Amino acid sequence: MSDLDLLHISIADQALYGFRAGRLLLSLPVSTAFNGVGELNGSGCTPRGLHQVRAKIGAGLPLAAVLRGRRWTGEVWSPELHEQFPGRDWILTRILWLSGLEPGRNRLGEVDTFRRYIYLHGTPDTEPMGTPLSHGCIRLRNADMLALFERVPPHCKVRIDEAPCPQWAADQDFT
């Protein structure tokens, strides 16, 4: 059921907005990079600009499946597993792997989003949303990531910027 054609990640709002034909259909809380925004390889920042979903990884895996190197480890996240691996950057449930579309800004060379392994992915539900805490990726609640994964087609456009959601979109009711 791919019904979204644009995702807008607002750094200001720490939110993801999903659109179809210019109409806002979805709003989800996210967590972007602790280090802020930036495109340079090794910066730990969330890259700005226009991107696309280059790969969808994890279809059919259980909720909170642990992914390392874009492969399922066979584990499912739990508080006990979390205690065994303190400090691990948990990538859970699904991955939407981004590729930049703006050469020199977020594509090619030292600013290549795809080669930086920048994803939208699930994270432990114990992690706060609405607060920048990631290592560059965009983190979502596992249930939100699972639902989003089904709604996003390959090559879906993803705009990441500091702009807040437009007022007309903020007034929408998603319940």
Confidence of residue 166 (pLDDT cuts 50, 70, 90): low
Query: For the chain, what percent of residues have pLDDT higher than 90?
Result: 90
Residues 71/83, Cβ–Cβ less than 8 Å:
no
Mean pLDDT of 17-21: 95
Range of the domain at 145: 4-168
Interval 88-115: pLDDT, tens: 999 999 999 999 999 999 999 999 999 9
Domain for residue 174, yes or no?
no
Task: Catalogue the active-site residues.
Answer: 121, 137
Instruction: For 25-53, give one letter per residue: b (16+ CB within 10 A) or e.
Output: ebbbbbbbbeeebebeeebebbbbbbbbb
Helix (H) or strand (E) holding 145: helix 142-151
Residues 6+ apart with CB under 8 A from 121: 67, 91, 92, 93, 94, 95, 96, 137, 138, 139, 140, 145
Q: Report if residue 173 sits inside a domain.
A: no
DSSP reduced 3-state for 147: helix
- Look at residue 22 and tell me if it is in a domain: yes
Side chain identity at 118, as an amino acid letter? I
Local confidence band at 174 (pLDDT 50, 70, 90 cut-offs):
very low
What would the two tokens of residue 72 be?
Answer: 């399922």
Find the CATH number of the domain harbouring 50: 2.40.440.10
In a domain, 51, yes or no: yes
pTM flag (> 0.85): yes
Does residue 39 lie within any of the structural domains?
yes
Q: Which of 9-18, 82-91, 97-106, 158-167 is predicted with the least confidence, judged by mean pLDDT?
A: 158-167
Whole-number Å distance between alpha carbons of 173 and 175: 6
Q: What is the mean pLDDT of residues 60-71?
A: 97
The domain total for the chain is 1
Among 140, 153, 124, 136, which residue's Cα sits nearest to residue 59?
153
Provide the pLDDT for residue 2. 78
What does the alpha-carbon distance between residue 152 and residue 134 come to, in Å, rounded to a whole number? 22
- Do the domain assignments include residue 111? yes
pLDDT value of position 175: 34
